[in-house]
Amino acid sequence: MPGCAFVDERYVAPEDAKISIFDWGFLHSDATYDVAHVWQGKFFRLSDHVERFFASMRRLRLDPGRTREQVRAVMHECVRRSGLRDAYVEVLCTRGLPAPGSRDPRGCTNRFMAFAIPFVWIADPSKQARGVDLHVSDVQRIAPASVDPRIKNYHWLDMVGALFQAYEHGAETVVLVDGAGNVTEGPGFNVFALVDGELLTPAAGVLEGISRRTVIELARAQGIAVREALLPVAALRRADEVFLSSTGGGVIPIARVDGVAVGGRAAGVFGPVTARLQAAYWALHEDARYVEPVNYDAA
Ligand SMILES: *Cc1c(COP(=O)(O)O)cnc(C)c1O
């Protein structure tokens, strides 16, 4: 696989990016991470991703042992060394290994890692053009009182179980619910639904996605009514338009929810709000206020 990773303070090829099985990041999912993307040689909203990464680490009492500037520099260097023009760029901080025989996380040496690999799509452009089939799972997203969902985390047993359920229903991806029958989020994305002329996205119990924030800002700028609110499953099912937002593909149209065509539209035909926001999302990748070029020629 093309790419470049940063592990144990060294830049290595992806196949050499390895950690100890005794790292609590692996044994206990005791870690946080963030994912930014590079599109046509430029990072998108890099500062926002780095800021969220540091907020996640602060909440988990993890210390990457470096400043925001140094984290940014490692991300740039991974992409530069990989040569990738379109990349998925992840930073991670794990709890690390405890002192021998100890189970006290305070004694762990935290570890910072990063990698850049080819861009990863939740739904690639051809699938986006068809629209994605979504299943609404009865699996509950892990409760916010247990794991703060604003911290990007690897507590994915709920997500993976729900994904298998979606495949059994003939769907391609899945959203999970909370304990009260409201939509939360899915594996790596937030959800939007146009209900009674208003764009709704779950207000709580979700990761505050950078793409979600981008969509909210774009909608406001275009005069589209948008609100962070409760999104009951019933509202999702009668929505006129539904889409996902993620670093892994931007604004991703949903064609069907549990086999029912969204808004009664034919496959491959999307509502005007989804289409406008999708175009605006990619247009922002040309806007100097949101992008930061990778210097591929630097020594
Ligand atoms: C990463 C992620 C998202 C989307 O966040 P973006 O910053 O838009 O990529 C949403 N939910 C979960 C659980 C995630 O891990």
pLDDT band at 298 (very low <50, low <70, confident <90, very high): confident
Sign of CA dihedral 97, 100, 101, 102: negative
Q: Which residues contact 297 (CB under 8 A, 6 or more apart)?
A: none
Q: Which residues contact 286 (CB under 8 A, 6 or more apart)?
A: none
* Whole-number pLDDT of residue 240: 98
| pLDDT of 299 strictly over 80 | no
Q: What is the DSSP letter of 141?
A: P
pLDDT tens for residues 93-122? Answer: 999 999 999 999 999 999 999 999 999 999
Instruction: Please compute the mean of the pLDDT values over residues 219-234 and round it to a whole number.
Output: 98
| CATH architecture, domain 125-285 | Alpha-Beta Barrel (3.20)
Q: Which of 45, 190, 211, 214 to mutate to test the pocket of ligand 1 (most atoms within 8 A of CB)?
A: 190
Domain spans in the chain, listed from the N-terminal domain onward: 4-118, 125-285
* String of DSSP letters for 190-220: EEEEEETTEEEEE-SSS---HHHHHHHHHHH
Burial (CB < 10 A; 0-12, 13-18, 19+), residue 286, is exposed
d(CA 242, CA 238): 10
Instruction: Please compute the mean of the pLDDT values over residues 242-250 and round it to a whole number.
Output: 97
Q: Which of 189, 247, 252, 284 to mutate to test the pocket of ligand 1 (most atoms within 8 A of CB)?
A: 189
Residue 129 has which token pair? Answer: 């053009």
Instruction: Please compute the mean of the pLDDT values over residues 203-213 and round it to a whole number.
Output: 97
* Whole-number pLDDT of residue 267: 80
Ligand 1 within 6 A of CB of 52: no
Q: Which residues contact 115 (CB under 8 A, 6 or more apart)?
A: 3, 4, 5, 6, 14, 17, 78, 89, 90
CATH annotation of 4-118: 3.30.470.10
Residue 247 has which token pair? Answer: 């670093």
H helix intervals, the chain: 24-27, 46-60, 68-82, 125-130, 157-168, 210-221, 233-237, 272-283
Ligand 1 within 6 A of CB of 142: no
Nearest in space to 287 (alpha carbons), one of 243, 189, 221:
221
Average pLDDT, the chain: 97
| pLDDT of 268 strictly over 80 | yes
Ligand 1 within 6 A of CB of 209: yes
Ligand 1: distance of its center to the CA of 246 in Å? 6
Ligand 1 within 6 A of CB of 96: no
Ligand 1: distance of its center to the CA of 207 in Å? 6
Residue 53 has which token pair? Answer: 């990464």
**Taking the CA of residue 234 as centre, how many other CA atoms within 13 Å lie in the half-sphere pointing to its CB?**
2
Q: How far, CA to CA in Å, does 289 sit from each of 41, 211, 218, 276, 295?
A: 15, 15, 14, 20, 17
Ligand 1: distance of its center to the CA of 247 in Å? 7
Nearest CA to ligand 1 atom 13: 188
Ligand 1 within 6 A of CB of 274: no
Burial (CB < 10 A; 0-12, 13-18, 19+), residue 196, is exposed
Tokens 């984290």 correspond to 71
Long-range contacts of 155-164 (CB under 8 A, 24+ apart): 155/29, 156/187, 159/186, 159/187, 160/187, 162/135, 162/137, 162/186, 162/187, 163/187
Residue 127 has which token pair? Answer: 């699938």
Ligand 1: distance of its center to the CA of 244 in Å? 10
pTM: 0.97
Q: Please report which helix (H) or strand (E) contains residue 146, including its range.
A: none
User: Is-contact 62 95, C-beta < 8 A?
Assistant: yes
pLDDT tens for residues 167-203? Answer: 999 999 999 999 999 999 999 999 999 999 999 999 9
Q: Which of 47, 150, 156, 247 to mutate to test the pocket of ligand 1 (most atoms within 8 A of CB)?
A: 247
Ligand 1: distance of its center to the CA of 21 in Å? 26
